[in-house]
Amino acid sequence: MTQIIIQGMLLSGLYALIAIGFTLIFSVGRVLNLAYGAYLMIGGYVYFYISQQLGLPKGIGLILAAAVGCLAGLLKYRFIAKPLKGNHVAIEIATLILAIVIQSAIILVFGESTKILHSLVPGIVRLEGVTAPWSNILATGLSWVLIIAVFIFVRQSHTGRAMLAVSQDPKGAAICGINGEWINMVTWGISGLLGGVAGVFFASYTQLSPFMWVGPLIVTVAIVIVGGIGSIIGTLIVAHIIGFLEVIVVSYIAPELRGIFTMLLIILFLIFRPRGLFGREELA
């Protein structure tokens, strides 16, 4: 039981960080960014190139992974979401195609083989008889720091309150003088930054490969559908539900089935409760 609790908390914190950026974009822009998994992949490869191929400090690799992820988010908004504004299906198809293009570009530069990332913090620690890598503990801690920072930013800052207004009533926000395009651009940038950071830790937790964007995207979609698309609270709660569920499946049933239960959750909620547990479509 102790092992499930510790491993579940470590995995859930990572899932929450991965999903929060996806939720922000849907809340404000009302679109599903299907290239979101590519943010993680970009972050992982930037970190790999900076810290392991160039030999620069790992902290610099993490910062640059976040910066490049943020830039990727801004570029996607400027050249995809903004020109296709109002056509949500076209945006979703375009972002999915973009993810495939990024995958091909990474294969061209780095090859198809998987790579092992060096952890930001080496070593392991024993917690109540359970062995856990320090890098996973750091990932969970940093995840919650960033999640709390997002909450404070959304609730306390002028830009964050403007994001709340746009997520609740875009037309009303425009009437009040809020620049919706600026808010959308900030949201896509923050989402990319969170994705870039999450990508470093996710690739360290699993492996770095040109196909790693698919798994996080599926988990993220599951989390936001079950939690209620657009609900930050729902995202955090369901990230922990899915994280613990996967740990239980891997520990007591079969590791190969970890993704099956996540997909079943998506199907069940789409059929019986399509608005999710919290059923909200604005930041909350």
- Digits of tens for pLDDT over the chain (284 positions)? 777 888 888 888 888 888 888 888 887 877 888 999 999 999 999 999 999 999 999 999 999 999 999 999 999 999 999 999 888 889 999 999 999 999 999 999 999 999 988 877 777 777 667 777 787 788 788 888 888 888 888 888 888 888 878 877 777 878 888 888 888 899 999 999 999 999 998 898 888 999 999 988 888 888 888 887 667 788 888 888 888 888 888 877 877 777 787 788 788 887 888 777 776 544 55
Cα–Cα distance, 51 to 88 (Å, whole number): 38
Cα–Cα distance, 146 to 152 (Å, whole number): 10
CA-derived radius of gyration, the chain: 18
Distance of CA 251 to the CA centre of its chain: 24
Q: In this structure, which amino acid lies at residue 57?
A: P
Give the C-alpha distances (Å, rounded to integers) separating 216 from 53, 86, 115: 25, 26, 17
Three-state DSSP class for residue 93: helix
Sheet strands (E) in the chain? 124-127, 130-133
Cα–Cα distance, 9 to 185 (Å, whole number): 32
What pLDDT score does 230 carry?
66
Q: In this structure, which amino acid lies at residue 165?
A: A
pTM: 0.88
What phi and psi, each to the nearest 5 degrees, are found at residue 52?
-110, -30
> Residue ranges per domain, the chain?
12-224
Q: Are 19 and 150 in contact (CB under 8 A)?
A: no
**How many other CB atoms sit within 10 Å of the CB of residue 125?**
12
Three-state DSSP class for residue 201: helix
Give the C-alpha distances (Å, rounded to integers) separating 63 from 50, 115, 140, 212, 252: 10, 20, 17, 20, 37
Give the C-alpha distances (Å, rounded to integers) separating 226 from 150, 171, 242: 21, 28, 10
Cα–Cα distance, 56 to 284 (Å, whole number): 39
Three-state DSSP class for residue 18: helix
Who contacts 21 (Cβ-Cβ below 8 Å, separation ≥6)? 36, 39, 190, 191, 192, 193, 194, 195, 198
